[in-house]
Structure formats: C-alpha cells, structure tokens
Amino acid sequence: MKNLTGPFTQILPLTGLPLKGALRDEQLQVISNGWVLTNNGRVVTIGPFERLHKDHPSAQIEKIEGDYVLLPGFIDCHTHICFAGSRAKDYAMRIQGKSYLEISKAGGGIWDSVIQTRAADETLLTDLLLQRVERHLAEGVTTIEVKSGYGLSVEGELKQLRVIKAASYKTKATLIPTCLAAHLKPKDFEGTQSEYLEYILHELLPIVKKENLANRVDIFIEDGAFKADNALNYLNKAKEMGFDITVHADQFNPGGSAVAVEVGAVSADHLEASKDKDIKLLANSDTVAVALPGASLGLGMRYAPARKLLNAGACLAIASDWNPGSAPMGDLLMQAAVMGAAEKLSNAEVFAGLTFRAAQALQLTNRGTLATGTPAVVQAYPCNDYREILYHQGKLRPLINLIK
C-alpha cells in the first residue's frame, strides 16, 4: 500500500554525499515542506504534496501536524548491550583516580561483567537486552549492532548470541550481532592467548556459522587483552571461514588499527590513541574509522581524533560503545553532539557518522539515507531547523514509527 506522509518542515535525505572525508553543512540537501511517498514500507520519492498526490492519487494520506525535521534513523554500529549486572563500583573507583587496568586487577572490568552475565539465564538476558534496545529506539536509533563477549566460553558466547537473535524478533529495531569471544582471555581458561583463540576458531565459530548467529567477528587488541600478532592470525582464519571482521583498535595504545587495515576489516573502532601514521593508514583504506565518544566520556579520556581522520579522507562513523563498564550512558545523540563540539565537526559530518557512514561499518547498503528503495526507517524532531538537533545536545527527542 502506498502512503503519502507530511508535510515536514525540513527533510534531510542524506543522499548524494561522499562516503569518505570532510563535509560542510552546505553540502546537505534540505527539502522544505516536503512529503514522503512510501510503498509497503519503502521510500518511493520525496517532494511537494501537489506533485506526489497528482502522480499517486490512490496513496493514503497521513498528515503531520506541527514543525518537524525528518531524517533517517540513526545506526549505532558498536554496542555491548547484551549483559547482566552493574559495574557502578568500577565507576566509583575510576572517578577516584584508578586506571582501567588497576580496576581490572582489583576484580572489576570486563571479567566482572562476564561473571554476572554467565550467571543470568536467557530469559533475563533477553529482557535486559530488549529494555536497552527499546530505549535506543525511542531515542531515534533504529539499527543496533550488538556484541557478545561477556560469555567467553563456548556455552556463554552461544547463550549471548542466541539471546540477541531471539530479541531481534521482538523489536522493531534491526539488531546486527557480532561475535566478540576474543574480548579477553578468560581467567578460567588454562592456556595461552593463542591457544584460547584457537579454541574459539575450532569449537565456537563453526557453531556460530552453522546456526547463523553472527556474520561478524571482533577482537580487542590492547594491553591486557590480545596482542597484535595473535590477533592477526585469528582474524585471518576467521575471515577464511566467511566472517566479516571488525577490531577494537587503538583505545589505549596504537597498533590495532594497523592490524585492522592489514586484514581488511570493515571497521576499526575506538582509535583514541591513534597516531598520525594510523590515521593515514585508515584514510587510505576501505576500513571505516569508528569513534566511540561514550567511552571517552565514561573513562574521562581524549576523544578519537575525528577531525584529523576526516581531514585525512577517512570514513568516520560515530557509535555509543554502550556497555556496563566504560560507556554505561548509551545516549548516542548526546555523545555525538558533545564530541562534535570538541572535535569541531559539522552537522553534516555528525549526521553522516550516525547514518550512512555507520551503515558502511556494518556493510548495510540499504540504510542510512532516504533514497528510493530504502526502508522507510526514519525519525522526526520537533523543530523547524535541523541545526536545533545537535544544538540541544540530545535533549530534543524524536518521533519514530510515523511512516508506514
């Protein structure tokens, strides 16, 4: 069925923009008083009411009252929102000056979340995940990547991935699962880093592939997690098995982004510690650079060098890193707006990083714009100027699910 919805004070389709490099607001196409024609939930065209109604007289008219700015739904291409428990004590230690590694050695950190998530059954994990998904959805985030990584055993990782799959049938949001069994070597695994990675390759990933639980594999390359040489071997083997690759890279120390580029990863995420040579590598590759301002805010550390990455010609996406430890807030729009102010990013660059460039990090070719044929996955903000959205730094909340 065809539907004609509007009028919207402004529509930002975010089409016709380059995938890589810096953007100016003047490059944004802004359609004033436009209507959206859809057919069975997909965009047909955008334009003035008179023309669209004349060309499609049988379309059902859905009138919008008031001023609204319409744009594609946001895409959060990096989250860890399938977990149980809290790490408030970690945060209390952090704001007293303890480092990430000190907290981990004191019994906090990722391993604490592993213990709490392992103890939760699938029903509880599904409920907790859906609560976070629905909050994200209400805040305009319509496509959400969700990682495992708090199981760190065959049974624990499969439980998380099956929960993510089950939750995907119970929400209007689109969930993209990623296997992060290589989050760190679990304390109860008797063996080396390389032996643990071989265990994942032989005992876990074949089941993940057989049950179609995830098409993506991630690894944390960092002191206290996995070394670059071990990661490269693991990722190449996972790639040979047919998995797409993404990497936790350069969060505290450089080196991970070079692995990501060498293995042909779809994205390198974090990048707070990236140096000029890493920025150049990313800019000259097809690997998407994903900035995670939520982790910078949660840890009280510098942002990824977003301005330098864009000026060098990289494809920059922005994601929340929503997780129980370093980024518990999960407010994607607020985080992006605040980082945009710090890194001097234009509205166009922030919106691109939250939509079609984030889609590239997930290899989704039909999301992030309002082009003909794309799903009508949209959000509308109660204002008459798109610049109000970032100006309010996350306090302006959208309407969703308003187009059929």
Concatenated DSSP letters for 116-142?
HHHHS-HHHHHHHHHHHHHHHHHTTEE
Query: Both 162 and 280 in a single domain?
Result: yes
Query: Both 53 and 80 in a single domain?
Result: no
Query: Both 116 and 152 in a single domain?
Result: yes
Query: Both 149 and 289 in a single domain?
Result: yes
CATH number at residue 188: 3.20.20.140
pLDDT value of residue 43? 96
Q: Measure CA of the first residue to CA of the last residue in the chain; give whole Å.
A: 9
| Stated pTM of the model | 0.97
Q: How many domains does the chain have?
A: 2
Structural domain range at position 18: 2-72+368-400
Q: Give start and end residues of each alpha helix (H) in 96-243.
A: 100-105, 110-119, 122-138, 154-168, 193-199, 205-210, 228-240
- 169 CB burial (10 A radius; 0-12, 13-18, 19+): exposed
Strand partners, 151: none
- CA separation for the pair 34, 38 (Å, rounded): 13
In SS3 terms, 375-395 reads as: ECCEEEECCCCCHHHHHCCCC
- CA separation for the pair 68, 382 (Å, rounded): 5
Query: Both 220 and 278 in a single domain?
Result: yes
- At residue 109, the 3 state secondary structure works out as coil
pLDDT value of residue 100? 76
Q: Which pLDDT tens digit goes with each residue over 41-86?
A: 999 999 999 999 999 999 999 999 999 999 999 999 999 999 999 9
Q: Closest by alpha carbon to 383, among 400, 401, 394, 397? A: 397
Query: Both 7 and 152 in a single domain?
Result: no
How far is CA 313 from each of CA 18, 240, 343, rounded to the nearest angstrom? Answer: 10, 29, 16
- At residue 248, the 3 state secondary structure works out as strand
Query: Both 191 and 331 in a single domain?
Result: yes
Query: Both 385 and 373 in a single domain?
Result: yes
Query: Both 388 and 295 in a single domain?
Result: no
CATH number at residue 32: 2.30.40.10
Query: Both 126 and 64 in a single domain?
Result: no
Place of tokens 């919207």: 8
pLDDT value of residue 404? 61
pLDDT value of residue 202? 98
Query: Cβ(41)–Cβ(99) under 8 Å?
Result: no
Query: Both 327 and 394 in a single domain?
Result: no
Question: Which is it for strands 244-249 and 216-220: parallel, antiparallel or unpaired?
Answer: parallel
Query: Cβ(286)–Cβ(267) under 8 Å?
Result: no
Tens place of pLDDT per residue across the chain (404 aa): 899 999 999 999 999 999 999 999 999 999 999 999 999 999 999 999 999 999 999 999 999 999 999 999 999 999 999 999 999 999 999 999 998 778 888 888 999 999 999 999 999 999 999 999 999 999 999 999 999 999 999 999 999 999 999 999 999 999 999 999 999 999 999 999 999 999 999 999 999 999 999 999 999 999 889 999 999 999 999 999 999 999 999 999 999 999 999 999 999 999 999 999 999 999 999 999 999 999 999 999 999 999 999 999 999 999 999 999 999 999 999 999 999 999 999 999 999 999 999 999 999 998 999 999 999 999 999 999 999 999 999 999 998 876 76
Q: Closest by alpha carbon to 399, among 213, 45, 64, 138? A: 138
List phi, psi (to 5°) of 128: -65, -45
Q: Token digits for 68?
A: 């609204």
Query: Both 208 and 345 in a single domain?
Result: yes
The DSSP line for 272-287 is TT--HHHHHHHHTSSP
